Amino acid sequence: MDVVAVGEVYYMAIFIRSGGKGIPGLSVRYEIVKCKGGLTYAAGGLIEDTLHPGVYVRGIQFVEPGQYRVLYYLPDGYDDSMETVYVKAI
């Protein structure tokens, strides 16, 4: 689990590969859900890192402490992914 403070930028990142090589040009969506209550905090698309094929990123600032799940939705043929982030009060 990643830990960040309220107001600090949290960088979501996922590496998608096949046969050891990064897969560029995909559409990767994310959804951030607050664990307590299950409400969607944010959603959108990740941006491909042009220097690293297959790496998709996006930064976000949390304004409320708590535990969140980051869900990554990948195109058909790839496995979706999830991570947990804890946002602490400052």
Spatial separation of the C-alpha atoms in residues 19 and 41, rounded to whole Å: 34
Average pLDDT over residues 76-83: 95
Query: Which structural domains are found in the chain, ordered by start?
Result: 2-88 (2.60.40.730)
Reply yes or no on whether the pLDDT at 78 is more than 90. Answer: yes
Per-residue confidence band for 88, with pLDDT thresholds at 50, 70 and 90: very high
The residue type found at 63 is V
Neighbours of 18 (CB within 10 A): 10
pLDDT tens profile 1-29: 899 999 999 999 999 998 889 999 999 99
pTM for the complete prediction?
A: 0.91
36-54 pLDDT, tens digit per residue, is 999 999 999 999 999 999 9
pLDDT at 67 (0 to 100):
98
